[in-house]
Amino acid sequence: MNLFSETRGLVVDSLAAMQAEGALPAGLDFANVTVEPPRDPAHGDMATNAAMVLAKPAGAKPRDIAATLAPMLAADARIESADVAGPGFINLRLAASAWHEVLRTALAAGDDFGRSAMGQGTRVNVEYVSANPTGPLHVGHTRGAVFGDALASLLDFAGYAVTREYYINDGGAQVDVLARSVYLRYLEAHGQAVAFEDGTYPGDYLIGVGEALAAQVGDAYVDQPEAVWLAEVRAFAINAMMGMIRDDLAALGVEMDTFFSEKSLYGTGRIEEALDALEARGLLYKGVLEPPKGKTPEDWEPREQTLFRSTAFGDDVDRPIAKSDGSWTYFAPDIAYHYDKVSRGFDMLIDVFGADHGGYVKRMKAAVAALTDGQVPLEIKLCQLVKLYKNGEPFKMSKRAGTFVTLRDVVDQVGADVTRFVMLTRKNDAPLDFDFDKVLEQSKDNPVFYVQYAHARVCSVLRKAQAAGIAVDDATLAGADLSILTHEAELALARKIAEWPRQVEIAARMGEPHRVAFYLYDLASELHALWNLGHDNPGLRFLQEGDAATSAAKIALARAATVVISAGLGILGVTPAQEMR
RNA sequence: GCACCUGUAGCUCAGCUGGAUAGAGCGCUGCCCUCCGAAGGCAGAGGCCCAAGGUUCGAAUCCUUGCAGGUGCGCCA
């Protein structure tokens, strides 16, 4: 149930009736007719722009159309008044009973309140994290993980059929580097002194992997040439790294449906198959790229490479899929990977990348557009960088100085819930400041705390009511006589609750889970405001001692708010707090 | 040089597929809070929405150009 879309339906029906009566010409497009909450609450609960957007195509004055439409809308039982205002807005004020009905719906639906059918079961693949399996996840990955996960949950809530996927880059040269680094740790485990030269990973996190390898194969690889051990050590190391990454993600509450191996594309003809699909469309050719202007590398030499004509799909230059020696660039398996996703039947693809991959967006979109003849959209969401702060001071990450901040560090220090919420209180394409001290602050200045506190306060009320012998299960609350909820602050909270289904659809359509976080903050704010009024005005307290009927109505309102908070936090992957400690 | 992202209050940021008088938190100012629901509450000041053009009934939002910051630009993935 979405009060706004229902009301929009009423507006459209009324417009159609006007057409039937000849008050409006036939053949009008109502697509731009909206029903939205007005910015200024003094204008009412909802406003429609119908008269203004139709004025021109209908060849009538906006205010004339509005003057006819408004009384038709006011005739509906749910609508208390419909007034024409400004250039032709119709401001609607809803009857209190309409808000009460929303509360009953929320209580009946529980965590499903706000679920939308908007997605119509569209099969969407959300690929995120996809960090190289060469080391632990760091803060940058953390943001991508949280964002991708929340986006996936949001789309699921909005009616899409979502698959969460991780692409393992286990096919390139960097996993050979990993294998060699693990081999060094392996030799170390056998008592040899080793040196980590440039081009190897010196991180401590590989010590255990080297030891584990030693435990498994003994001294079989000691003093053996690379040809003997490389493939085995590589597989062992990748497996170990992916185990670590899965554990890290699990600590953050992220669970993937699919881990897709890049390596699995090699030697199976699948890369060739994808490239053949491009070749068949005449989009591959041998050519020589120009050096980038203004930044010509010193060692630049013209090379002939196999190029993909991505410029035919909006890219700035054509992109190489093969190096000058004929081997694939990273782009080739990526094309094959996306081809594979499409062939698995997804209607829509979403990639979540770090901002440093921004230059990759156009070519990837071009590839997917080419492979699917524009049938399957690929949306790429970029997450901007995370800047760390401690005590208000910028905190620089440095591998050398040992201040490399991993996902695990963050989760261990502030917890998964706080990490997730904080990282979602910013638009994905805005940089994020993450202050270790501020995010743990227990005050209303901290949005995480503020929202959690709202939920916990209501939980506390429910506990107290139960102790006082008042039944507070959702079914009982939904059956309460809600007509006593007439105070402005109570209705304001109910209105905010009623916005939830609409916010879900907006957030899902835009692919912006941060909107959920901001909405929850606003909702919590309304709840706290009402709570605070109860301080001076005991009649507004949720729990009315000795008056079970009144208590039930007021608690129903509070409980409906937490139903939404709980559902919203669920999308963000945050556990609602039962109490604050 | 080119591409992408960003530019909104002193600071950190929201702003709904273009809507009415541009919002929140922090900070600032003032008032309230000895107990009863204050890990606070209420009120106020504070804006050339980077700039200039354009599109239209209407622009922070869309288009063009410029300025500033960030990210990236063949044989790394």
CATH number of the domain at A513, please. Answer: 1.10.730.10
Rounded to the nearest integer, the mean pLDDT of chain A is 91
Distance CA A295, CA A158 (A): 45
Between residue 198 and residue 257 of chain A, the positions with Cβ below 7 Å from nucleic chain B are none
Find which nucleotide's C1' atom is closest to A167's CA: B77
- Among the residue ranges A91-105, A296-310, A369-383, A455-469, the one predicted with the least confidence is A296-310
Distance CA A554, CA A103 (A): 11
> Contact, A45 vs A499, CB < 8 A?
no
In a domain? residue A217: yes
For residue A75, say whether its CB is under 7 Å from any atom of strand B: no
Find which nucleotide's C1' atom is closest to A328's CA: B75
* A48 has pLDDT over 80: yes
Strand partners for A435 = A389
For residue A7, give its domain range.
3-94
* A513 has pLDDT over 60: yes
Find which nucleotide's C1' atom is closest to A174's CA: B77
Residues A86 and A188 in one domain: no
**Domain-terminating residue out of A68, A94, A120:** A94
**Domain-terminating residue out of A252, A281, A306:** A252
Structure tokens at A346: 């997804």
pTM across the whole model: 0.95
Global ipTM: 0.92
Between residue 405 and residue 464 of chain A, the positions with Cβ below 7 Å from nucleic chain B are 426-427, 429-433, 442-445, 453, 456-457, 461
In a domain? residue A364: no
In a domain? residue A112: no
| HSE, side-chain direction, 13 A CA sphere, residue A221 | 27
The gap between A400 CA and B41 C1' (Å) is: 49
Q: How confident is the model at residue A225 (pLDDT cuts 50, 70, 90)?
A: very high
In a domain? residue A422: no
In a domain? residue A219: yes
Residues A83 and A190 in one domain: no
In a domain? residue A356: no
**What is the Cα A499 distance to its own chain's centre?**
19
Which nucleotides of strand B come closer than 7 angstroms to any CB of the protein?
1-7, 12-17, 19-27, 37-42, 57-58, 70-77
Mean pLDDT across A297-315: 87
For residue A487, say whether its CB is under 7 Å from any atom of strand B: no
Between residue 274 and residue 333 of chain A, the positions with Cβ below 7 Å from nucleic chain B are 288-289, 291-295, 297, 299-303, 305, 316, 320, 323-325, 329-330, 333
For residue A545, say whether its CB is under 7 Å from any atom of strand B: no
With 0-12 / 13-18 / 19 or more C-beta atoms within 10 angstroms meaning exposed / middle / buried, residue A223 is exposed
* A38 has pLDDT over 70: yes
Residues A89 and A181 in one domain: no
Mean pLDDT across A100-111: 94
Number of domains composing chain A: 3
Q: How far is CA A255 from CA A164, A165, A388, A406, A579, in A?
A: 8, 9, 25, 18, 27
In a domain? residue A232: yes
Residues A568 and A456 in one domain: yes
- DSSP, residue by residue, A260-301: EESGGGTTTTHHHHHHHHHHHTT-EEEEEPPPPTT---TT--
Strand ranges for A466-541 from DSSP E: none
* A395 has pLDDT over 80: no
> What pairing do the DSSP bridges indicate for beta strands A161-168 and A258-261?
parallel
Q: How far is CA A36 from CA A69, A457, A478, A512, in A?
A: 17, 30, 27, 19
Find which nucleotide's C1' atom is closest to A450's CA: B39
CATH number of residue A80's parent domain: 3.30.1360.70
Distance CA A550, CA A552 (A): 5
**Domain-terminating residue out of A58, A78, A94:** A94
Structure tokens at A200: 């190897």
In a domain? residue A210: yes
Residues A447 and A538 in one domain: yes
Residues A566 and A460 in one domain: yes
